[in-house]
Structure 1
Amino acid sequence: MLYIRTGLMGHGKTLNTIKEVDQKAHKEGRPVYFHNVTGLEPDKLQADWFEFEEPHKWFDLPQDSIVVVDEAQQFFGTRDPRKDVPEYCSRFEIMRKQGHEVHLITQDPRFLDVHARRLCNKHIHYSRIFGSSKLVRYETERCYETVDKFPTNKLADKTTVSLDKKYFGVYSSAQAGHHFKFKPSKKAMFFAVATLVTAFLVFRALNLFYGSDDSKSGQADSVVAQVQNAVGSTTGSLFGSVGEGDKPLTATQYLAQLEPRVPNIPASAPVYDELTSPQTHPRLFCAASDDPDLLERTSHPIGVYNGVRTSCVCYTQQVTRVDVGFQFCMNAVKHGYFDNTRPDQQQQLAQGGFNQNGMQPNQLRPSVQSPPLRSSSFPAFGPEPPQVTRVTVVPYEKGQFAW
């Protein structure tokens, strides 16, 4: 099998490779051959480790052996795709016949020959957490080239491991542990300081609340001063002065405000939020028809109502079509629906008979009527009881007039 092990410098890829391979080889009784692992001391390990000189001849090593090559990009690096695949890469195709297991260690899989990447059986990537001694170990069945996207790869097995200090003196790169000193990030420091400040404020607030009345005034002033000093020094050291937050928007931030939240609707961009507050709400006006001629050429929804093919459609007061269920549409046409946003006419008459615009209640209906739709059995309606209007369809013959 071919393993590719990756990770940035100081993220423990070589140390953990030595640890995992040594434990596996010791358990299975297999020899380990290594190349380019600086200062490795085999006598400090459990399995039998042997150094070999020619990494391109790894396939000449004894059968069932495990091979480890550090900084593998120096020996199995990328090549001109127009050239033939070298033997040291093509032999990965049949490595199982000899029982070999090869571990190539590098910082990024894209540094390796594409032929080796395509034949990879397992890809293991190490990522250090906030510069601490904890690592996140990702493992996939194939080579995953975009290692920076491992946290979002749902197919990768994810485990948390710790740097084993027993292996710091096994090879020279980690002899003094200088690569693995704890270096917390500013984000981690901020959360730690914020936690301490919050705990301090809660303690002081409780002490102030339950303290004596004579001392409350002095304690309040003291708490305010301490909070100002603590928060000011913390935010100032980590993020600079407060005035930096008032800087003009960058080009990226400005363009982000122009990006619509909803595709094809420019007004949904954040820059228009103060201009797009709702001024009204949709009021439905629905109509239905079972006219066969209309049904043949309409694009409106068609269903069966009381055993008859019927078309039913709803529009708003702005003559924009609304997609509703057929049963709802027919029920609204036949029985209407209650609009709780319209005042009662009796209430308006009791208040003077006219509204603030000088209009009588019967003038409050929307000025936009339902879209014209010929009907032989059903009325058009708004959000009020329908008024039935009968329409008689007169046959027409060319050359003759109805009157």
Structure 2
Amino acid sequence: MTTSVVTLVTGLQGNGKTLYTIDQVKQLSEREGRPVYYHGINELALPWTPLENPEDWPDVPAGSIVVLDEAQKAYRRRANGSAVPRHVSELETLRHRGISLWLITQHPMLIDNNARRLCGRHLHLVRKFGAQASNVHEWNAVRENCDKPAGRKDSIKRTFKFPKAVFSLYKSAEIHTVKRSIPRKVLMLGPLLLGALAVMGYVGYGKVVKPLAAEAGVEVMQAAPGKPAAAAAAPGPSGDRRERAPMTTAEYIAAYTPRIPGLDYTAPVYDQLTQPKRVPVPAACVTIRRGCSCYTQQGTRLAVDQHQCAQIVQTGFFMAFDPDGQQAAQAPKPAVQEVASAVARSEPVAAPVQPQQIPVQVVPVAVTGGPKNRQLTPIDLAAFPEDNQDRYAARRPFER
């Protein structure tokens, strides 16, 4: 906290200037162990010493703190050339005795010119709409036009929230009776803002939505005031020209708004085109030095935890469904089943093909399952991020 020799605190009635001064001086006194003398504060419940005459402050002990509320009564403005009173001239040598003086008044121009020029710190409080807080503007010299917004532009500004504990320390006729009120012009700002948004929406509808709808070949209909918008089915695939109720502006925008931002195909308009045809399954699981990873039929990585991945590598993964949709219908019948069917139909069975020497290509695979149900799944090494493919040598069972 700044301990200027003379501090001027200004502000209109009810803006919290006395409350702020008591709070700040109380902290300063308790921290530095200095006595406090005061004048003009009603029913103060602090161990401070009252001054009957504010002009007698020069008689306080050295190192004291002096608080003068309604300071304009003691430092009334004087005529030019008049004699300088003692309590005014003593301000010039105040620092030599270590005394800190706090002057409280509504406006700096209400006090003596000499006293105003000797203030080394000016605090001006502004309370907004009767809130339980004020803005504190600070300068290192008196700012005579502190009551004007232009005069407060270069201030050091902070917020002072009224401490409830200090309310009970003195009696204030203004700080407790000011009711919170919002000016009518601020209240009117809400309806004006809503009206402006409505106008912007109407203009945007005519300039943006209608042209886009016409380009897309969709009829857009505004909902009548007070009536619900007509229900409309989401547009189907391109080429579907069946009759349907015209969409309102809101329905049209909602139909093309992605459910997941950045993924346009998640918009409702594409629902008929994005029906799932395949199921992602762990088609290949590989254990490498970095850990275990599982991949789908398309080579994309699955979000499988390390324990589950290792379990699939060790025990396999049983699929009780066709992950690719049509694989079961198109799969060739086993040779044994073909022979059995031919015998049942009393058809001649062709002799088995004589063995031939067929070149064998070494294919990297993932080994899953146990000794009785071991499965070998081919792996495309190009789909893995590792450059050193020797790490996968353990998954090539055909090599010795």
Give the TM-score range, shorter chain. Answer: 0.3 to 0.5
**Larger helix share, 1 or 2:** 1
TM-score, normalised on structure 1?
0.47
TM-score, normalised on structure 2?
0.47
